Structure 1
């Protein structure tokens, strides 16, 4: 059974995940090019040094890629039964969209918080964002998997 709105919603949700993933990578990457003037230093100092790139970028990529891979895998395998009514299908869609928006908005906020606090303790801010993403992904991923995996 082909339902155009169902596939459109899945496509939009997938695009949202991919755009937020790209935004997260761009935000983290941007910290490597920002400089701040510190007291006692004659020249501006980079917010994050190049050698920190794997420590900071890999966890963000790992979390988003795990969620996106799971979504794409369940989108094509469809192991769960179809919704019995259109209203239950709409509820699944709304829950998946709301969870996705809340997760990504919060993670993007946490990742970009360094810009709001004058680049103070960017390392700690990024570590908090990664920790929050791990715990929230544990809650959000099953919702999206169930939505994408329904026939």
Structure 2
């Protein structure tokens, strides 16, 4: 019961963080929601993992520890994005978009991997999907930086 509650809270917070993050790319308007949702995502993940820690095998423990570490890095990157908000800098900067993009790519990868695993995909397919999501996310981030950072510079020069 407790495990389901924490996993649900984690998933809802991650989904909210993703939506708020995407909507914040250009203006930073929803960065407060994004930051709070990222913190809740991590805060719910830890007890979700620890509830069954005693009966979790060693390999799964290593994977879960890695995921908690990644979630911690994501929260730090979210905070760094908030500190470089387009509101403070006159528009999105490359550093802001890198921090925001890192978290959005990681969240999208998590959504895809969980869906594939729950759908019964073989391990090799899950791995290919995970790498594919990161590759597409990276390309999308580069395009967003070209469009948004150049646009902000052009507006500032006008």
Q: TM-score band, normalised by the shorter chain?
A: 0.3 to 0.5
Mark the structure with the bigger radius of gyration. 1
Report 1 or 2 for greater relative contact order, CA contacts < 8 Å, sequence distance ≥ 6. Answer: 1
TM (norm. structure 2) is: 0.37
